[in-house]
Amino acid sequence: MSELVDIAALSFEQALAELEQIVARLESGQAPLEDSIRMYERGAALKAQCETRLEAARLRVEKIVVGAAGAQGVEPAEFN
């Protein structure tokens, strides 16, 4: 993690890979306290970014359905 890239610029896969590296380093217990704190903060931001991207993907594969009474619902998108 010598060069920190803007989290918003990372793809989901890149953010997840970096998050996994941070978790592994934190679990090893080898990092100094201040480094651990910085890694934890970046990891929390990476986790939030991954969750945001997953939610966006979920919304893209669902479609909004308007019923006869005007009620809205959601149903899974069909991939045929």
Give me the domain span that covers residue 38. Answer: 7-76
What pLDDT is recorded for position 66? 60
Q: What CATH number is given to the structural domain containing 12?
A: 1.10.287
pLDDT tier at 26, thresholds 50, 70, 90 = very high
- Give the pLDDT score at 35: 96
Task: Let me know if residue 12 belongs to a domain.
Answer: yes
Which of 55, 53, 73 is CA-nearest to residue 63? 73
The count of structural domains within the chain is: 1
Alpha helices in 1-80 (DSSP H): 12-28, 33-60
Identify whether 2 is part of a domain.
no
Q: Are 24 and 1 a contacting pair, CB within 8 Å?
A: no
Q: Is 1 within the bounds of a domain?
A: no
Q: Which residue has the higher pLDDT, 71 or 12?
A: 12
pTM confidence score: 0.72
Residue 71 within a domain: yes
Residue 18, in any domain of the structure: yes
Could you tell me if residue 11 is inside a domain? yes
